[in-house]
Amino acid sequence: MQFIATCAAGLEALTAAEIGKWGGQEIVRENGSVRWSGSLESGYRACLWSRFASRILLLLDEIPITTTDDLYDQARRQNWGEHLGIDNSFAVDGTCAQGSPVTHSRFAALRVKDGVVDQFREKTGRRPDVQVTRPDIRLNIHVGADKSTLSIDLSGESLHRRGYRSEGGQAPLKETLAAAVVALSGWSGEEPLIDPMCGAGTILIEAALMAGDSAPGLGRSYYGLTKWKSHQEELWTELVTEAIERERQGQHRKWPSLTGYDADSSVIGFARENIRRAGLEGKIKVSRQELLFLKAPASRGHLICNPPYGERLSETEVVKYLYRCLGNRLQESFKDWKIGLFTMKPEFADLLQIAWQQSHSLRNGPLSCRLYNGVAGAAGTFSWNLPVSQDDSGGGDLANRLKKNFRNIHTWAVKNGIECFRLYDRDLPEYNVSVDIFQKRVLIREFSPPKEMDQATAQDRFNTVLRVVRSVLGVGRDRVYLSRFKKKNEQNEASHAKTKQPRLYEVSENGCAYLVNLSGADAGLDLVQRLARIRIIQQSHDKEFLNLFGHTGSATIAAALGGAGRTTTVEPSPYYLQWAEKNFALNGLYYQDHQLVQADCLKWLQEQQTTYDLIYAGLHKSFYYSGNERIFDTKKEHGRLIRLVMSRLKRDGCFYFSTSARSFRLDEELGENYVCRNISNEMVPKDFERHRQLYQFWEIRHRTDLC
């Protein structure tokens, strides 16, 4: 007999290898299919055991074709009485290759159906019924460029339908493709296997079926071969019995650890149900866990992952940082683990920072994808070392101050695990700049020059700063970023540039990862708030946390890392909220579990009834805008803000309020109703001590004597 196994592009070699094990002969691989000759048993085994094929077709006829009449004639000349009876239902599936003389697959199927029906009418005066869903017999007509192939579909419906999947969640992998990903990843079937974004659990289930020597077709309730008139029931029963026995023996083998995680609790519910339906309870463990908390359970193992794709631009930007988070977790905890990454975004594969050893081109439905295989390595570390020789042509006082600050502040930063800090803060009046270190990059921010200083002198001074900083720190132009002082009208123009996607760099702080923009007016991480974020980490466990004027969500990231039970971030600017989403993805946090709200904070507080244990408002600006409309003046309206916040703060809760607005004074009336404690001495970090008076931090609580 002649058979054809159809399969997804890229699975031909795997399918051919299977067929060879079942006695297939003269195996020929074609694009999306594998042909072979063999006994009926080889076809039956393919239906029951193939992990990678989509359909198993028994070839009836193959003829040259020029018109649709050829299809009708081809169907008429078959002896259909050998395959189906008048009381059987049937259906015809049609496919047309590019360049074929028939351009519509449904019309091709219709012509074959007419041929079958007309033959029965001619012989018996009756005709079998057409039934699209699960017919007794399913026929297949494939029209190529110059020939048509007519077959019986022994599988009846696609073999990816194993019978265990109830709900797939969003964009699930077909079971056949998941099995191929496991096989091509090189998993041995013995080492621990983890899927950190397991979704409905398909990859883990297919791996378990392989490990347990379970025939993937055992769970199917429907095959196209069972009502076929030439079906050999005894042979089929024998093969099914053999498969059941092999599965029984496989259940008693030593099982590898199979573990899955997903941040979406509803998807984990689908996975558990699928595992139960597959008869694999106790063999696979799945639980809700955000990527942030992913750790290797052993020194060696195998990790396979199919991260979300992100098809819209905004989704793609967020998903990109989810890949970076995965790469960070792999470098931190999975050294020497084998990694299989299946993705539709090859450009994202490099974000994992793994030297991929091989890749395979596959298709997930209409999507072109790749499977990358490699081994995770330990993360490299960066350290600052000042060059021995430096440029001493002018700016010596600035150079000396930078060296002194570096010895003092950098030593402190290294001791405390700080990689982002302020190195220089307008220390010398003639060099009115700040110099911030963001890991291995340097940001120089220029402040307004004195009114009496002409533009040429200001430019000359800034050029000196740039040259001296590069010389003292030993950095090239590619690691130095500038934020020049702009006049008011220039600042307005700069604000419109926020609509463009900035180049963001990753930095870390206290175990949190943040994205910073070193080319804009706002880096996105307020370094003076560092100790506030540490305190939030320490106090947020199991707390309900609210972040007002949330900026890029850095305080919320700290709260989530500290174990906050629920977080809400309110920010008037959609620009910063999108940035916050990226920060959530970079940290492996399921941001759908953390509410992000674009709103005027005062109006939002007035409308809310929810109360919180811990509230934070880090006001890094004096004025806040929605479009061109000013919606908040820190100095004038902070009292109203604090009163609204306290109405949403639980009786034993705490509100942290900070501001860098010049000449700020806390509304004195607030002290009559609340306990307001100035904690600036505790909260201004060492690298900002020079201008301590610019920064105020307040701890505000309900008065117990008024309860």
pLDDT along the chain (707 residues), means of 10: 96 97 95 96 98 98 92 94 95 92 92 96 94 96 93 97 78 90 96 96 97 95 96 98 96 93 92 95 95 94 91 78 94 95 91 93 89 90 81 80 94 94 94 95 90 84 93 93 69 45 90 94 94 97 96 96 94 93 92 86 94 94 80 91 96 96 90 95 95 94 76
Cα(352)–Cα(370) distance, rounded to whole angstroms? Answer: 14
Say what the pLDDT of residue 487 is.
Answer: 55
> How confident is the model at residue 312, as a pLDDT?
67
> In 301-409, which ranges are continuous DSSP H helix?
313-333, 346-349, 396-405
Residue 336: how many CA atoms within 13 Å on its side-chain side?
A: 5
As a three-state string, the secondary structure of 466-516 is: HHHHHHHHCCCHHHEEEECCCCHHHHHHHHHHHHCCCCCEEEEECCEEEEE
Kindly list the distances between the CA atom of residue 263 and the CA atoms of 288, 544, 593, in Å, as whole numbers in the listed order.
Answer: 5, 19, 9
Instruction: Write the DSSP assignment of 161-179 as a string of letters.
Output: --S--S---SSPPPHHHHH
* Cα 77 to chain centroid, rounded: 54
Nearest-angstrom CA–CA distance, 160 and 218: 12
Structure tokens at 81: 């009485």
Q: If you compute the radius of gyration of the chain from its CA atoms, what whole number of angstroms results?
A: 33
d(CA 133, CA 95): 18
Look at strands 544-548 and 566-571 and give their pairing: parallel
Q: For 119-152, b where at least 16 C-beta lie within 10 A, e where not — what string? A: bbeeeeeebbeeeeeebbbbbbbbbbeeebbbbb
- Please say whether the structural domain 175-212+253-373 has been given the CATH code 3.40.50.150: yes
C-alpha–C-alpha distance, residues 150 and 95, integer Å:
11
- Listed in sequence order, the residues at least 6 apart from 604 whose beta carbon sits closer than 8 Å to its beta carbon are 570, 597
pLDDT at residue number 167: 63
Residue 171: the pLDDT is 56
Residue 63, beta-bridge partner list: 148
- Residues near 440 by Cβ (< 8 Å), separated by ≥ 6? 382, 384, 479
Give the span between the Cα atoms of 72 and 69, in whole angstroms: 5
pLDDT, residue 602, reads 94
Return d(Cα 686, Cα 702) in angstroms, integer: 30
Which residues, including other chains, have CB under 8 Å from residue 245's CB and lie 6 or more apart? none
Exposed, middle or buried, 389 (CB in 10 Å: 0-12/13-18/19+)?
A: exposed
Strand partners, 700: 655, 676
In contact, 610 and 597? CB cutoff 8 Å: no
Between CA 423 and CA 433, with CA 428 as vertex, the angle to 5 degrees is 55
- pLDDT in the model for residue 452: 77
Query: What pLDDT score was predicted for residue 565?
Result: 87
Counting Cα atoms < 13 Å in the Cβ hemisphere of 707 gives 9
DSSP state of 284: B
**2-153 is a CATH 2.60.40.730 domain:** no
Among 345, 423, 329, 349, residue whose Cα is nearest residue 384: 423
Indicate where the chain has its CATH 3.30.750.80 domain(s).
396-485
Per CATH, the homologous superfamily of domain 396-485 is RNA methyltransferase domain (HRMD) like (3.30.750.80)
In 389-456 the beta strands, taken as DSSP E runs, fall at: 420-425, 433-438, 441-446
Helices (H) and strands (E) in the chain, counts: 21, 29
Residue with tokens 């099982």: 255
CATH 3.40.50.150 spans which residues of the chain? 175-212+253-373, 505-706
Q: What is the CATH number of domain 505-706?
A: 3.40.50.150
Q: What is the pLDDT of residue 662?
A: 82
Residue 227, both tokens:
């009502």
Nearest to 706 by CA among 668, 670, 678, 679: 670
Q: In the chain, what is the greatest distance between 2 CA atoms, to the nearest angstrom?
A: 108
Cβ atoms of residues 433 and 446 within 8 Å: yes
Burial status of residue 483 (CB atoms within 10 A of its CB: 0-12, 13-18, 19 or more): buried
